[in-house]
Structure 1
Amino acid sequence: MVTPAGVLPQAAERLDARPEIGADEVRIAVERLNLDAASFRQLAEKHGGDGDKVRAEVLEIIGSRGKMQNPVTGSGGMLIGTVDEVGPDSPLGLKPGDRVATLVSLTLTPLAVTDGLAGWDGRGEQVPCAGHAILFARSVAAVLPDDLDSRLALAVLDVCGAPALTARVVRPGASVAVLGGAGKSGSLSLAAARRSGAARTVGVVPSEAEAALLRDAGLADHVAVADARDPVALAAAVGEPVDVTVVCVDVPGCEHGAILATAAGGTVVFFSMATSFAAAALGAEGLAADVTMLVGNGYVPGHAEYALELVREVPGVRKLFEGRLTL
C-alpha cells in the first residue's frame, strides 16, 4: 500500500511498512543503514553538525514516510540485515538466515525502526539500528561476503553501480576524470577506469588533504585540487579535456564544470544524487557542448560482484574505504 494510490514506491509520499509480507516479498531484520552521501551532507549541514538533531530528523522521516527518503535531496541509501521471512513466490533466491545488503534505494524500501536509532550518534553515514524492511519481487539484494567486514561491504555495495557503469563507458586508450576521486564511488570509478584500459586518469578533489590520500592510494595518474562547482577552475585543473568525466561529488552545482572539462564527443556520467537534470541539460546547451550525458541509476548487471572484486584486488581502494570507516 502506498500514498498516493497508483504511484510506484520511489515516488510515493508514504509506504506501508507493516511487517506482514506478501507472497512474493521478503522481510529483512535490519542491522545497519547507509545513508547516501548527498543526503547525509545535507542533513549535517542543515543542523550544523549536531548529531542529535540529525538523528531526530532521520527518525522523523522514517516514521512519517515508512521509508528513508530525504525530502530535500530525494535520496536515501541502502541497508544490511538478515533475512527473516521469505514469501513462497519470492524470485530473489534468498532464504531465512542469509545476511544481505539491499542493492535498491531506501527511497523505495518499506522500513520501520524500533530502537529509536539509540546506537547512532548522528555523525556518520552508517546507522546501526534495529527494525525491519520489506523487499519486493523486483528488488535486488546480495548475500554479504564472508571475507569482508560487514561495514566495509556495506560501504562498497552502497555505490557499486558507479564502477560498473564506468567500466561499461570507458574504452581502452580513453582519458578519464573523476570528480570526487577520493570518495567511495570516486575511488572505485578510478580503479574501474584504469582496469578498462584508460590511458590517462585524473582524480579531482576539493582539498589538499584529500589530494594526499588519493596520491597515496595511487589510483590516478594526476590528482587535481579544485572546487567542482567552479567550472572554469575545474576545467583548468583537469587540463586537456577528457573523453569521460564521472561526477561522484555529494554537493550540487557541479554539472557545468563537468561538461566544460569533457571533450567534444565525450561522455559525462552523473553518479551523484545532487545532480540537477535541468542544470546539466541547459548547461550543455548553453556551452554548445556536444557531449553524451548519462545518469547513473545504481544498477548494472553484476555490479555488486565487480565492486567487491575491485576492493579485494586494488589495495588503494581498500585503503581509502577503510580510512573512511575509522573516521
Structure 2
Amino acid sequence: MTATSPVGLHRVLEPVGSGLTLPQAAQRLDDSPQIGADEVRIDIEVLNLDAASYRQMEGKHTRSDGTVDGAAVRAEVLEIVASRGKMQNPVTGSGGMLIGRVAEVGPDSTLGLQPGDHVATLVSLSLTPLRITDGLAAWDGLGERVPAKGHAILFGRSIAAVLPEDLDAELALMVMDVCGAPALVSRVVTEHRARTGQDPVVTVLGGAGKSGSLSLAAAADAGAARRIAVVPLQREADLLQGTGLADSVVIADARSPLGLLAAVEQAGGPADVTVVCVDVPGCEQPAILSTAAGGTVIFFSMATNFAAAALGAEGLAADVRMMIGNGYVPGHADYALELLRNTPGVRALFESRLAGEQTGTS
C-alpha cells in the first residue's frame, strides 16, 4: 500500500502540485477504490444531500409550472460526482453524508471500523472521495435522500459511526447529518449560564427542520429559560404545535430584519442565543439584530454569507459573538441520537420527514 496523508492530501488531483490544498477545497479528488494503509472503503447505500445544496439545485431545475425536473437534478448530481470525484455543490460548496457498509479497512486505520460494519460517515461529502456506479437509477431527484451504489473513501482523520441497532438506519443518518447542531447549542447554553448566571432565551430560525428541531431539544435539555421557534409557513408551525419543543412558535420571514425582530420580541426576546438553521441566504443581519447585546449567534446554514454576517454586525454596532457550526463537537452523534430517543416531538418530526422522503411526498 502506498503512503497516505491522514487528512487526504494524497487524494487531491486538482490543483496539481502544491500539496497545500485539502480535499474540501480541491477541485477534483482521486476516487479510485484502492485504499492506502490508513484508509477505509465504504460500499454506499444512501446519500443524504445537504439541505442548502439540494434546495439550490431544486430551484435551478424548477419548471415554469412550479414542478421540479427531477431527472435534471439527478443528472447534475451525477455530473458533479463524476467531474469532481466527490459530491460538492459548486454553488453552495456543501455536500451531505452517506450510509453504507465497510468493505475494506487499511492495516493502519485508527477509525475502529471492521469490514461489514453498517456506518454513517460524519464528514461532509464535499471532501469524501466518491464514485457512483448505478447512475442513481433508484432516485427520482425529488428529495435529499439518494439511494445509490458505488464507493466512498475515508481518510485516517475522517469520522464515522457504526449505526445503532435500535433505530432505522436512514433515520439515524438523518440525525447524524445534523448532529453537530444540538451538541454546540448545548455547549453555548451552558457557557452562557456560567458567564452570566442566567438561563438564556434561545431562538431557532428554521425550528421545524432537522437541525432546528434538534437544537430546540438541546436547548431544553441544557436548561434554556425560553425557546422560540421561527418558521416561514403555517404548515411548519403546525408541525411544531403540541410537540413541546418550543415555548413560542412564530411565523416570520427570517430575511426581514424588522419583521424578525418584532416577531422575536413579541415571543419573549430578544434572544441570548440565536441559532440559524434555515437553508436560504439573507438571514445574517436579521439574526444579529434580533439577538441581545452580549449574546451569541450560531450559523448552521451552508447558505450563510459570512462576510455579510461580519460586516453586518459591524454596521449594526452589534456586540454579539458569532460562531460557525462546523459540524463536529466531541460526542455529537451519541448526544443527538439520545435526544431523538428521549424527545418524542423530535422523533415524530424525523419519522414523518423520512416517511415523506421514502414515498416521494416530502
TM-score by length of 2: 0.90
SS of alignment partner, residue 326 of structure 1? helix
1:316 aligns with 2:345: yes
1:217 Cα deviation from its structure 2 partner: 1.8
Partner residue in 2 for 1:175: 201
Aligned to 1:226: 252
Measured in 1, the distance between the counterparts of 2:26 and 2:243 equals 41
TM-superposed deviation, 1:198: 0.3
Map of 1:79 onto structure 2: 98
Asked whether 1:188 is paired with 2:214, we answer: yes
Deviation at 1:231, TM superposition (A): 1.1
Cα distance, 1:126 vs. partner? 0.7
User: Structure 2: how far apart are the matches of 1:38 and 1:159?
Assistant: 12
Q: Does 1:286 align with 2:315?
A: yes
Q: How many residues align?
A: 327
- 5+ unaligned residues in a row in structure 2: which ranges? 1-10, 63-67, 194-198, 357-362
Structure showing greater Rg: 2
Alignment correspondent of 2:134: 115
Partner Cα separation in structure 2 for residue 253 and residue 150 of structure 1: 34
Corresponding residue number in structure 1 for 2:86: 67
1:239-265 CA distance string (max 9 Å, x none): 131100000001111001110110000
Give the Å deviation of 1:218. Answer: 1.8
Aligned identity (percent) is: 73
* Aligned counterpart, 1:253: 282
Deviation at 1:132, TM superposition (A): 0.2
CA distance in 2, matches of 1:262, 1:35: 30
Secondary structure at 1:118 match in 2: coil
- 1:228 Cα deviation (Å)? 0.4
Partner of 1:17: 31
In structure 1, how many angstroms separate the alpha carbons of the residues matched to 2:289 and 2:189?
18
Once the 2 structures are TM-superposed, how far is the Cα of residue 302 of structure 1 from its aligned partner? 0.1
> Is 1:198 matched up with 2:224?
yes
**Within 1, Cα distance between the matches of 2:281 and 2:162?**
33
Q: Report the alpha carbon displacement of residue 216 of structure 1 after superposing the two structures with TM.
A: 2.7
Per the alignment, residue 109 of structure 2 pairs with 90
**What is the root-mean-square deviation in Å for CA atoms of aligned residues?**
0.7
Structure 1 counterpart of 2:179, which letter? C
SS for the counterpart of 2:58 is helix
1:102 is aligned to 2:121: yes
Distance 2:90 2:111 in 1: 29
**C-alpha deviation, 1:96, in angstroms:** 0.1
* 1:128-160, Cα deviation, whole Å (9 max, x unpaired): 000000000000000001011111111000000
Alpha-carbon distance in 2 for matches of 1:170, 1:225: 24
Using the TM superposition, name which of 163-172 and 36-45 deviates more.
163-172
User: Which structure 1 residue ranges, 5 or more long, are not aligned?
Assistant: none
Residue of structure 2 equivalent to 1:209: 235
4+ long deviations beyond 3 Å: none
Is 1:265 the counterpart of 2:284 in the alignment? no
TM-score by length of 1: 0.99
* One-letter amino acid of the structure 2 residue matched with residue 72 of structure 1: V
Inter-partner Cα distance in structure 2 for 1:11 and 1:184: 26
Aligned twin of 1:129: 148
Q: Distance in 2 between matches of 1:217 and 1:71?
A: 37
Where does residue 330 of structure 2 map in the other structure?
Answer: 301
Deviations 1:31-64 (A, max 9, x none): 0000010000000010001111000000000000
Alignment partner of 1:34 is 2:60: no
The one-letter code sitting in structure 2 at the alignment partner of 1:197 is G
**Match in the other structure for 2:3:** none
Deviation string for 1:175-220 (max 9, x for gaps)?
A: 0000000000000000000000001000000001100111132200
Name the aligned partner's letter for residue 43 of structure 1: M
- 1: distance between equivalents of 2:225 and 2:39? 45
1-structure distance, mates of 2:178, 2:335 = 11
